Structure 1
Amino acid sequence: MLSNKVSNIQPSTTLAITATAQKLKDEGIDVIGLGAGQPDFNTPDFIIEGAINAIHNGQTKYTPSGGILSLKEAIVNKTNQDLNLNYNTSNVFVGTGAKHVLYNIFMSILNEGDEVIVPVPYWVSYPEQIKLAGGTPVFVKTDEETNFKLTTSQLEQHINDNTKAIIINTPSNPTGMIYSKEELLALDDLIKQHDLIVISDEIYETLIYNGKHVSYATLNEDAKDRTFIVNGVSKSHAMTGWRIGYGIGPVDYIKGMTNLASHSTSNPTTPSQYAALTAYTEQPEYIQKMNEIFKKRLDEVYPLVDEITGFKCIKPNGAFYLYPNVKEAMNLCGYNSSSDFAQALLEEAHVAVIPGSAFGSDDNIRLSYATDVESFKTAIERIKHFINSKKS
């Protein structure tokens, strides 16, 4: 019989939808997948060569649990340069993807009954990881009126003596929204007043098309000392399968995360660490090229989504997702939930999208434009035809 912890975990909807779409494709059905949370092009050749060279040079053995020193140094250099912050390698933990880093953070900071503020919509794994660590996710619903961003009045209403931490995800998955410095400063007073730990998920930091990335850790020295920055190479360098992420934070917590990893995963895959080292030390122009590709796509596909009957969509500022409100479309088609709507789109229109229920907001769906524009356009035509056929 499964343990209570495992029995209570909700499966990842994003991975489940992707798997179902792939199964239909394997059966010969022409499914267009708009559910992917990863860039649709291969890891750059220079990074692949870096990994191959490392393998040929014998870098296939165990490494320290928290990552090789040279990669930590590269992460420190990148962070200090990009954010103008003063970190050293003792502040860095390298994990098996940013998801693993987040898990180790929650396991290292939470005791039974501790609460974590989770703005809604949220990335699907936040609540489950918090619960696995013995904590309680406290959901604070945001919406289109505030561009899906948390306000100080909302935060104040949900803080109590059990509140231990808050998650800030900018740019956001699933909304693509980014927090400005002024918006973060407004939250900072309350965060500081209640001595909260900030988990700043910045995995999409390089994919910003309007505005600029601001990390909470850059607000002031106090903010830096209470913040975990979570990042990695998966989105910035098309390296999702290499499974390398990192966390930067207070030294004592980083030591705890490293100890935890030493008894669970041991070290991240050795050749992948050297691939990440190559990513952070060579050809930085690659990041700008990827950013330009996604910005161009967004400008092409956003108007197409916004004109679909029953869809209302805010244009995002970052990441590679659109998060339209489809409540009117669901009503027109006779569906009561985004899960049923998404399932029907997959089975009947052969378009894979992620229901907003996976992110805590059932009036929305998530569309990824990490696919070629022509396929995206075809998917939009299928969605239009589906809605028109259902409402007539």
Structure 2
Amino acid sequence: MLSKRLDHITPSYTIEISTKVSELKSQGIDIINLSIGEPDFFTPDQAKNKGLQAVKENRTKYDAAAGLKELRNAICNKLLEENNISYELDEIVVSSGAKHSITNTLMALLDPGDEVIIPKPFWVSYSEMVKMIGGVPIYIETKKDNNFKLTSNELKNAISSKTKLLLINNPSNPTGAIYTEEELRSIVNVVLNNDMYILADEIYEKIRYIDKFTSIAALSGEAKEITITINGLSKSAAMTGWRVGYSASSKKIAKAISTIQGHLVSHPSTISQWAAYGALTLCQDDMAQMVDVYTKRRDKAVSLLSEIDDISFINPQGAFYIFLDVSPFKDKFSYKDSYSVEFCKRFLEDYNVAIVPGIAFGIDDYVRIVYCADIDDVEEGIRRLKEFIKSL
């Protein structure tokens, strides 16, 4: 007799794709995987060495629920120097990945029935996290001609007496769009006028191809007070398996998050935290070099996709994804529930390339490809996509 909350949880489309890819590979089929948002780089050596040093020095005992003091200090310095936001040590909580930081935050803020506004397209787990906590996801249809970025008017129209939180991803997964300072100020003004919080997922902040990035909490003291900033090392330092993320918020919210975390997991792995400390303090050049490579891959991918007739896409300013509009081919498919799932299924089965259906992000006319993979795989995957679309 399982919990009834599982009746409302949608299985992960990305895990379903990964399972299918593994199944095909086990049959000896060579698959080009452009579906998983995981850097193909390895963790920088100086970060790994900090983790190894921690093991050798037996730093393997329990520590503070909110995370290592040294790591939280490094995070405070990062936020001040890079984002122009001043935080104190007790306003930072380190968790087992950004996903864990988001879940902790939702647990700290939401009561059953509270509404969370989520603009479409959204990262696949946002809505399921909200539902698991007992909250109600409220989706906003954004516009392609605005690169699917939320506007203040769209936000106003979605707010109700039950609205507790706005969840915003900047840079965006899956579009790679980045909000301007003016756009964010307009959104923050609406939130402030309606007694809400903002959960700002900025996990891709360092992977961007424009000079300026504005953190929401940096806009003003009022904005900082209502914003919970989420970030981590998985994407920027290629540390996905180490599982280190963090939240920055007011003292009251941080204390609540720390209390919840203390009961659930005590704290993240101390070894992983020392490696994250090494990444933040010693690996800035490594992270910048990764972004240089992503920039070249993005430019190549955009150039190749531009040669394909009848598709369009959001030109990414950050992250490492491209969101493709494949709606012109809907009449070429027979499907029951989801066009994008069927599109991706046929592309995988007929051309051995894995990509993600747009329905996973709330928009069924689109698919997502990644370019955080080997450039030869990216080029070959797009070449096969061109063949697939030509066949349609």
Q: TM-score band (shorter)?
A: over 0.9
- Counterpart CA distance in 2 for 1:303 and 1:166 is 35
1:12 alignment partner in structure 2? 12
Contact residue 105 and residue 257 of structure 2 kept, 8 A:
yes
2:360 alignment partner in structure 1? 358
- Counterpart CA distance in 2 for 1:384 and 1:253 is 49
2:371 alignment partner in structure 1? 369
Q: How far did residue 77 of structure 1 move? A: 0.8
Q: CA deviation digits over 1:274-298, x for unaligned, max 9?
A: 0001111113111211111101110
Contact residue 338 and residue 364 of structure 1 kept, 8 A:
yes
Name which of structure 1's ranges 171-180 and 75-84 shifts more when overlaid on structure 2. 75-84
Contact residue 333 and residue 387 of structure 1 kept, 8 A:
no
Q: How far did residue 344 of structure 1 move? A: 1.1
- Counterpart CA distance in 2 for 1:331 and 1:377 is 27
Q: CA deviation digits over 1:120-139, x for unaligned, max 9?
A: 00011111111111111110
Query: Partner letter of residue 13 of structure 1?
Result: Y
**Of 374, 379, 388, which residue of structure 1 is paired with 2:390?**
388
Query: Partner letter of residue 116 of structure 1?
Result: V
1:49 alignment partner in structure 2? 49
- Counterpart CA distance in 2 for 1:310 and 1:325 is 9
- Counterpart CA distance in 1 for 2:87 and 2:96 is 21
1:318 alignment partner in structure 2? 318
2:251 alignment partner in structure 1? 251
The verdict on how the C-alpha distance between 1:212 and 1:23 changes in structure 2, with shifts beyond 3 A counting, is farther
Q: How far did residue 314 of structure 1 move? A: 2.1
- Counterpart CA distance in 1 for 2:269 and 2:387 is 46
Secondary structure of the structure 2 residue equivalent to 1:185: helix
Gaps of 5+ in 2: none
1:32 alignment partner in structure 2? 32
- Counterpart CA distance in 1 for 2:137 and 2:18 is 26
Name which of structure 1's ranges 18-27 and 343-352 shifts more when overlaid on structure 2. 18-27
Query: Partner letter of residue 156 of structure 1?
Result: K
1:140 alignment partner in structure 2? 140
Q: How far did residue 333 of structure 1 move? A: 4.9
1:297 alignment partner in structure 2? 297
Contact residue 175 and residue 316 of structure 1 kept, 8 A:
yes
| 1:70 and 2:70 matched | yes
Contact residue 176 and residue 314 of structure 2 kept, 8 A:
no
- Counterpart CA distance in 1 for 2:26 and 2:34 is 17
Name which of structure 1's ranges 48-57 and 282-291 shifts more when overlaid on structure 2. 282-291
Q: CA deviation digits over 1:136-191, x for unaligned, max 9?
A: 11100113111110111111111111111101111000110000001011112211
Query: Partner letter of residue 339 of structure 1?
Result: V
Matches within 5 A, 1:124-163: 124-163=124-163
Q: How far did residue 23 of structure 1 move? A: 2.4
Query: Partner letter of residue 374 of structure 1?
Result: D
- Counterpart CA distance in 1 for 2:6 and 2:32 is 32
1:60 alignment partner in structure 2? 60
- Counterpart CA distance in 1 for 2:330 and 2:354 is 16
Query: Partner letter of residue 172 of structure 2?
Result: S
Q: How far did residue 329 of structure 1 move? A: 3.0
| 1:188 and 2:192 matched | no
Secondary structure of the structure 1 residue equivalent to 2:87: coil
Gaps of 5+ in 1: none
| 1:80 and 2:80 matched | yes
Q: How far did residue 387 of structure 1 move? A: 2.5
Query: Partner letter of residue 338 of structure 1?
Result: S
Q: CA deviation digits over 1:310-341, x for unaligned, max 9?
A: 31112110000000111113334556610111
Name which of structure 1's ranges 203-212 and 7-16 shifts more when overlaid on structure 2. 7-16
| 1:349 and 2:364 matched | no
Q: How far did residue 102 of structure 1 move? A: 0.2
1:172 alignment partner in structure 2? 172
Query: Partner letter of residue 81 of structure 1?
Result: E
TM score, norm. by length of structure 2: 0.97
Contact residue 311 and residue 329 of structure 1 kept, 8 A:
no
- Counterpart CA distance in 1 for 2:19 and 2:277 is 31
2:380 alignment partner in structure 1? 378
Q: How far did residue 217 of structure 1 move? A: 0.6
The verdict on how the C-alpha distance between 1:331 and 1:302 changes in structure 2, with shifts beyond 3 A counting, is farther
Q: CA deviation digits over 1:209-237, x for unaligned, max 9?
A: 02421111111110011100100000010
- Counterpart CA distance in 1 for 2:262 and 2:101 is 13
- Counterpart CA distance in 2 for 1:19 and 1:62 is 35
Query: Partner letter of residue 280 of structure 1?
Result: L
- Counterpart CA distance in 1 for 2:20 and 2:261 is 32
Query: Partner letter of residue 112 of structure 1?
Result: P
Name which of structure 1's ranges 60-69 and 145-154 shifts more when overlaid on structure 2. 60-69
Contact residue 332 and residue 387 of structure 1 kept, 8 A:
no
Secondary structure of the structure 1 residue equivalent to 2:325: coil
The verdict on how the C-alpha distance between 1:209 and 1:85 changes in structure 2, with shifts beyond 3 A counting, is same
- Counterpart CA distance in 2 for 1:6 and 1:260 is 22
- Counterpart CA distance in 1 for 2:382 and 2:323 is 14
TM score, norm. by length of structure 1: 0.97
- Counterpart CA distance in 1 for 2:29 and 2:15 is 19
**Of 339, 342, 350, which residue of structure 2 is paired with 1:340?**
342
Name which of structure 1's ranges 330-339 and 352-361 shifts more when overlaid on structure 2. 330-339
| 1:276 and 2:267 matched | no
Secondary structure of the structure 2 residue equivalent to 1:100: helix
Secondary structure of the structure 1 residue equivalent to 2:164: strand
Q: CA deviation digits over 1:73-120, x for unaligned, max 9?
A: 111111111111111110011100000000010011001111111000
